[in-house]
Amino acid sequence: MAAPSVDAAPSTASPAHVPGPIEVRLLTGANLYFTRPTVKLTLDASLALNADADTVVHWQQALRMHGVPVGMASSETRAEGVAEMAATLVRRAAAAVRSRIPAVAHPADDDTVVVAFPFRNTGTAQAFAEEVARAFGAIAAGTRVRTALARVAPALAGHDPGDRVTPIRPHIPVVAVTGTNGKTTTTRLIAHLVREGGRTPGWSSTDGIFIDGACVDDGDWSGPGGAARVLADPAVQVAVTETARGGILLRGLGTASNDVSVVTNISADHLGQLGVHTVEQLAEVKSVIVRVTKPTGWCVLNADDPLVLGMRRFTRARPWFYSPDPGNPVLHEALDAGGRVMTVIDGEMVVLARGSDPVRIIAVTDIPLTMAGASRVNIQNALAAAAAALALGVRREHVRAGLQTFAADAEHNAGRLNTYLLGDTAIVLDLAHNEASLDSLLEVTDRLRRPGGTLAVVTSTAGDRSDEAIHAMGAMAATRSDRIVIAGKAKYQRGRSAGEMEQVWASGAAEAGVTDVERADDEVTALRTLLDSALPVGSAIAVCTLEQRSEMSSEIIRRGGHEATPAEIAARVGAG
């Protein structure tokens, strides 16, 4: 089929009948695409993806695109080319209204493309995005490129420019914390160390907003709204913000910059949602906090995680690597760049710098959060938090004191490896929501089991995890425990039907060779089932808790149990 002439008559279809955008999302802070407010425009690309090659060539010529492959219909090459066509269309449409803006684009899911470009005013951003979408749809439907572009300026005439969006430029030091696991623990500990150093911290996390240790609003505040709330409080002298994947993708960061960024780790979680399908894509999203770290600031990066370590190329800030292993071969890269290293030598947390002797902070076993060294993940979290606090200027003696007074208990770190003793049975309650966190929970709980005791586990998670992830967790729990009870859910089904997740858990256990699994209606009932049974002396129970943490704590105490002290945990770990 021959391509239509550039001078061919335009389509007579009314612009009103051309489909608009699938979504116009205004990202008001630094984001995956730009470090300033950005429009994320999702377009239906099905017609363009399936157009004949001659037509695509014609579009490229009319848009003055050069060196962009055409590709076969519906191929990956075609998708990349159509995405670049959308970005070019944005640039040409901007020129039509006497403006210049950059644009980037990429193929997305279900025959769509995403094109992104910066903006200043909300009304202009919305109106311009809608006109670009109409132009894109009209061109794909047969309208000449020139004609489609000519409609943009008249359509925008007289529009309301709307509010001016200005990213928050903090007047106090800001620490941004992200990663797959350990974000909340690290955020809480950094704030604790800052407070120990004499300044008033404010922090936002998945558990709420806290000002100087007091909760002022509960709920999930790990997005930009939480950062804004903390920075708006006049009492706050240092802001510590937990930064989740969803907040970055849906709204962007809450601040234009940070003084210290901390990335704990990257592992599979929430994959398949919001256009993120691989851990590499997840790492790219989370790298946004590193990109906006001030050149005078510090990036605290987990040197044991290659995806985290790779983020160092996105920043001009100074590197501060951390790893419990002083023999990690990449640590010298931070030192060579004039940075710092936080590691463990002879059982002590130390700071390394080029040309200096190791600066000793504290013995790992003297940090209650590490559970006498039994929790590998909390050793890493402590290293990260101590590095961030020192980078903020907290004095070494205050860091040491803060590490000594922050425990893995409900007071300091609710829902994360909270340990109870009931007679000679240890019970660990943890928000084990993915494979990595379940691995940590099972590892710690097994260390609390005495010789001759059994390891039992209560499994549960939210419904927004994939079947593959829940199945893998079921196999892990069955493989590493002596007894498993699958707890049902009343809340957090996230669109799943009753009993659906329990079946996936059971299928994972069956793959591990365990078909005789017990089930309970909810988390408390599952725990009661285990406590009412004749567990051998010295047993330990790992509980994945999401809905009923406080009820389970009350149940343990009602039966005569208590929250374990750091000394009791240390004695239990040592005896095991």
How sure is the predictor about 222, in pLDDT bands with cuts at 50, 70 and 90?
A: confident
CB 302 within 8 A of CB 323: yes
- Co-location of 393 and 478 in the same domain: no
Tell me what the mean pLDDT of segment 18-31 comes to. 90
Tell me what the mean pLDDT of segment 320-334 comes to. 97
Which residues face 342 on adjacent strands?
322, 351
How sure is the predictor about 3, in pLDDT bands with cuts at 50, 70 and 90?
A: very low
Distance, in Å, from the CA atom of 241 to the CA atom of 232, rounded to the nearest integer, reads 13
Select the more confidently predicted residue: 334 or 576: 334
pLDDT surpasses 60 at 16:
no
- The tokens of 185 are what? 């623990």
The amino acid occupying position 424 is: D
The rounded radius of gyration (Å) of the Cα atoms in the chain is 27
Question: For the segment 392-434, what is each residue's pLDDT rounded down to a tens digit?
Answer: 999 999 999 999 999 999 999 999 999 999 999 999 999 988 8
- Co-location of 125 and 222 in the same domain: no
pLDDT surpasses 80 at 363:
yes
Helix, strand or coil for residue 215?
Answer: strand
Is residue 1 one of the residues assigned to a domain?
no
CB 282 within 8 A of CB 269: yes
Distance, in Å, from the CA atom of 90 to the CA atom of 43, rounded to the nearest integer, reads 12
pLDDT surpasses 90 at 271:
no
Is residue 5 one of the residues assigned to a domain?
no
pLDDT surpasses 90 at 6:
no
The residue to which tokens 């060196």 are assigned: 67
CB 297 within 8 A of CB 259: yes
- Out of 123, 156, 189, a domain closes at 156
pLDDT surpasses 60 at 231:
yes
- Out of 94, 121, 156, a domain closes at 156
The 10 Å Cβ neighbour count of residue 61 is 13
Question: For the segment 289-309, what is each residue's pLDDT rounded down to a tens digit?
Answer: 999 999 999 999 999 999 999
Distance, in Å, from the CA atom of 471 to the CA atom of 449, rounded to the nearest integer, reads 26
CB 150 within 8 A of CB 165: no
The kind and range of the H/E element at 241 are strand 238-242
> Cβ-count burial of 121 within 10 angstroms (0-12 exposed, 13-18 middle, 19+ buried)?
middle
Domain residue limits at 247: 174-406
> Cβ-count burial of 4 within 10 angstroms (0-12 exposed, 13-18 middle, 19+ buried)?
middle
CA-closest candidate to residue 549, choices 539, 557, 560: 557
CB 449 within 8 A of CB 426: yes
The residue to which tokens 């101590």 are assigned: 386
How sure is the predictor about 461, in pLDDT bands with cuts at 50, 70 and 90?
A: confident
pLDDT at 48: 95
pLDDT at 95: 94
- Out of 377, 406, 435, a domain closes at 406
Distance, in Å, from the CA atom of 477 to the CA atom of 458, rounded to the nearest integer, reads 9
Question: For the segment 92-114, what is each residue's pLDDT rounded down to a tens digit?
Answer: 999 999 999 999 999 998 899 99
Is residue 7 one of the residues assigned to a domain?
no
pTM above 0.85, yes or no: yes
pLDDT at 137: 95
Question: For the segment 502-558, what is each residue's pLDDT rounded down to a tens digit?
Answer: 999 999 999 999 998 999 999 999 999 999 998 999 999 999 998 899 999 999 999
- Co-location of 143 and 230 in the same domain: no
CA-closest candidate to residue 447, choices 408, 405, 404, 474: 408
Highest mean pLDDT among 2-11, 388-397, 459-468: 388-397
Distance, in Å, from the CA atom of 149 to the CA atom of 132, rounded to the nearest integer, reads 8
pLDDT at 11: 40
pLDDT at 380: 97
pLDDT at 575: 61
- Co-location of 339 and 242 in the same domain: yes
Residues near 277 by beta carbon (within 8 Å), at least 6 away in sequence? 271
pLDDT surpasses 60 at 5:
no
- Co-location of 246 and 280 in the same domain: yes
- Co-location of 329 and 449 in the same domain: no
> Cβ-count burial of 346 within 10 angstroms (0-12 exposed, 13-18 middle, 19+ buried)?
exposed
- The tokens of 97 are what? 């209204």
pLDDT at 13: 42
Distance, in Å, from the CA atom of 342 to the CA atom of 390, rounded to the nearest integer, reads 10
Is residue 164 one of the residues assigned to a domain?
no
Q: Which residues of 70-97 are buried (b: 16+ CB within 10 A; e: fewer)?
A: bbeeeeeebbbbbbbbbbbbbbbbbebb
- Co-location of 308 and 332 in the same domain: yes
CATH number of the domain bearing residue 364: 3.40.1190.10
CA separation, residue 103 to residues 40, 90, 91, 116 (Å)? 10, 7, 7, 6
CA-closest candidate to residue 222, choices 255, 196, 244: 244
pLDDT at 576: 56
pLDDT surpasses 50 at 8:
no
Is residue 163 one of the residues assigned to a domain?
no
- Co-location of 440 and 401 in the same domain: no
Is residue 436 one of the residues assigned to a domain?
yes
- The tokens of 557 are what? 């105490």
Highest mean pLDDT among 218-227, 252-261, 494-503: 252-261
pLDDT at 18: 66
The kind and range of the H/E element at 288 are helix 288-291
- What percent of the chain is predicted at pLDDT more than 90? 83
How sure is the predictor about 163, in pLDDT bands with cuts at 50, 70 and 90?
A: very high
CA 8 from chain centre, in angstroms, equals 50
The 10 Å Cβ neighbour count of residue 289 is 30
Helix, strand or coil for residue 513?
Answer: coil
- Co-location of 274 and 383 in the same domain: yes
Is residue 169 one of the residues assigned to a domain?
no
Residues near 162 by beta carbon (within 8 Å), at least 6 away in sequence? 121, 122, 123, 124, 125, 126
- The tokens of 528 are what? 């009661």
pLDDT at 17: 61
- The tokens of 445 are what? 């709980």
Question: For the segment 64-83, what is each residue's pLDDT rounded down to a tens digit?
Answer: 999 999 999 999 999 999 99
Distance, in Å, from the CA atom of 85 to the CA atom of 103, rounded to the nearest integer, reads 11
CA-closest candidate to residue 571, choices 372, 421, 366, 364: 372
DSSP 86-115: HHHHHHHHHHHTT-----EEEE-SSSEEEE
- Co-location of 422 and 493 in the same domain: yes
- Co-location of 379 and 247 in the same domain: yes
Distance, in Å, from the CA atom of 281 to the CA atom of 261, rounded to the nearest integer, reads 19
pLDDT at 128: 97
Number of domains comprising the chain: 3
Would residue 415 be called left, alpha or beta, if left means φ above 0 and alpha means ψ between -120 and 50 degrees?
Answer: left
| Dihedral over Cα of 521, 527, 531, 535: its sign | positive
- Co-location of 345 and 323 in the same domain: yes
Please give the mean pLDDT across all residues of the chain: 92
Is residue 441 one of the residues assigned to a domain?
yes
CB 145 within 8 A of CB 64: no
